[in-house]
Structure 1
Amino acid sequence: MTTIIALAFLIPLGIVLQREAREEAIADAAGRSATVAGALLVSTEPATLDRVIDATGGDPAGRPVVHGLTANAAPRSGGGDTAGDSRARSRGEDVTRAIQGRTPLVVDVPGGVVRLEPVPLTDRVVVVEVFVPDAVLHEGAGGTWLMLLVVAVGLVVVSVIVVDRLAARAVASARGLVKAALAVGDGDLDVRIQPSGPRELAEAGYAFNRMADRLVTSRTDERELVADLSHRLRTPLTVLRLDADALDSDDTSAGSFSDAELDRRRTIRRIRQAIATLEGEVDVLINTTRKTVTQDTGPAMCDVSEVVRDRMVFWAALAGDQNRPHKVLGAQLRIPVRVPRAELAAALDAVLGNVFRYTPQGTAFEVVVSRRDGYVAVRVDDAGPGIADPDRALRRGASDQGSTGLGLDIARRVAQQANGSVSIDRARMGGASVVMLLADAEAAPRQMSRFGLVGRLARERDPGNRRWPRPRATDN
């Protein structure tokens, strides 16, 4: 655009300068012609005219020529009757036209132009011819165009530098805004930006800072509300714990008991364990939500295998009471992910709780942990009836079983917190297969091709469609 503007301005300027140079050369010829015309009004002697013509100076080829100096002499083609120079360049009809018109004429001739100026004398009209060669007409044109070209290049270079600096400021402001937005998306609500750049980007920066302040306030209020609600649960939990303590002993290791008595004592044990677990979770909620946002240091990390082993200690006892065969595969090695331990445990409990809640007693299940391609998969399979509508099951608050519909949504939100997803498929065992896909915290970043990145972004727009290959099940 700058080049076009420079050319649109400088090309007409060059033409005007060239035209002015031509007019200046013709004006100089008019001055020399006027000198000779003045001498003719004083004297028509050839010797006197020769001295005047010599006095005009300049190139000999361009010195004035006088037509019709001899009385009654008609002008001829090639110069006619002349004084001072017999090499006239004008044609006879041009000289005649100048005499008849009594006005100066500028006529193009080979090699340049001639200026014909009629001079009325007492008994006749003579014509003073001055030849201006092309070299004089275009004198300095090459330098003028070269200067204009240099000016155009200079304007383009300067404009590019100025635009680059302005664009650099705008790009730097946009990059800072994007970086801050990504940081907020990763959970860092302390990030703020210094608004800069063009007015629109500066306004966007101020709006971003206000948004971040509102998010901090809303998150703090939400945590305080959760803490208050969690604290309200202490009273009914205390009553439940006192009632559980008042029950009979749950010891089944000493003495011999009937099957009914064993079931009763195991039930008492599970009640006490559930109350203790619930009290612990309430304490964690209160302690976690009481922390201010400024005390958060970034996303927490936990070991997936350790969480799976720990939670299966609880669920294995319940599975034994319900005669449910179960397996735990792939939970031997440490596999870190960027998810708080309590949240991953809650997600796993939500998925396993659905198995116990919606499948008949005696239904087998397995928990498999696998690691591949920068992701960690926690898969829970069962041999139950499966899930008829996986998409509906993943929607928050939607349930076909009369529950709150929050279990799988908890798992989905935890997985998304770790840059992953949750998917539901048909299990090899015949029932439902729920896969929580989490980003591996120790995975090295991969250099992906441009088309690979496009494909990756397309898959991330619909994380529910991501599938995870199921490894061959083996006993742990």
Structure 2
Amino acid sequence: MIPLGLLVEQLAQERALAQAERRAAIVVSVLAVTTDPNAVEQVIASAQGDTPAENGGGGQLAVHGLAEQPLGTSYAATTDLTRAAQQQHTVLAPLDDGVAYLEPVEIGDDQLAVVEVHVPSAALRGGVWAAWGALVVVAAGLVLGSALVGDRLANRMVRPARSLADAATALGDGALDVRVTLSGPRELAEAGYAFNQMADRLAALRTAEREMVADLSHRLRTPLTGLRLDVEALEAAEADALAAHEPRAGGYGYPAADDDDRYRTLARVRQALTTLEHEIDVLIRTTRQATQATADEPPPPGRCDAGEVVAERMSFWSAVAGDQDRPCEVVVPPTPAPVRVPGAELAAALDAVLGNAFRYTPQGTALEVAVSRHDGWVAVRVDDAGAGIADPDRALTRGASDQGSTGLGLDIARRVAQTGGGSVSVGNGRLGGASVVMLLADAEAPPPSAPSRRGLIGRLTREPRLSRRS
């Protein structure tokens, strides 16, 4: 804006000098025709009245050399007039109020006249201050406009950055459901996307951790079930012995004091079992209620022989079944049945299913556990002769139970089956009760696109097998 202001000032001076040159040219043209002082004086008076007011006005004309006194009003110094006459070209003489435009003119042999035009300061600066004012307004508008645009651009970057910072603070305070709306420059949008992925991962990890705690707690039911059954067997044996007055050391029956001690011991064990089961239920329910969404985290990679795992676990469950007078048949193939599941995970899933069967079916109910390998799949089937499962879909829902339990047993089996590339199905078995089948992908063969549970299980009776009864 400063160069523009200086240019306007220069243009105003050139305009005023050009006006003075035109007025001087009028007088010069008259002198070329006549040198009569009276005529020249009339021309001067006429020219002075034509001074534009917007150019400062008041410009005075004078002619020197026609008479002893200058014609018109003179402002120039004698030295400036002499210099103009000697140099014989236009001279601009500075004055206290403007400049004097001096134009020498030949009016005869060796005779010169000098035409003087007074250009006041107002004419030299005509319109300059208005132009400077306009430039200042424009400059202020540009500054304010650039500040406004800069603020909007900066706000476009600051708002997403502030939102990301607030979300990070909320996430640090434990609000795992907080997410960032992607906006702003590309870099901030990428940072917000990475933050959302991190928050999703953290939520999934916490969910998986809580579910793992619930699943591990549920595994404690297996030894608790066996211990409870042992206590019941001891109570039944004690009752039978006392009823039959079976001979013991020291005579028939037991002394009253020994009977009381034994019954008190059994009561304390039963009470301890009840308390422990209650505490495990509380732990499972607490972790389940704290979980807001299900995150199926893949377990550590592993591989095992399903037949070997089933045979090992049934050595424990067969003993329990024998104590309860349960007919128990175990069917495993003579060849390995490899699956892509760690042995501990498959054993935990089998324990969860068998634990439900022992818990929710009466003593003496028959059981059958079978392993089959066919068409790229390995099936682990648990059948019982109980009342069956009324709502199979609800039974497979995590945390849902119609028996007052935690509802995690079948869900553990489902997750293990999904880890092994398969699924779990619940239906009615050939023993008349519930049938739970875990289909697992064969580790040595690609699975088919659509496995058939009924066709696979139906072939169990036609395949070579190793059977053991308890």
Please give the TM-score of this superposition, normalised by the length of structure 2: 0.47
Q: Greater relative contact order: 1 or 2 (C-alpha under 8 angstroms, separation 6 or more)?
A: 2
Which has the greater radius of gyration?
2
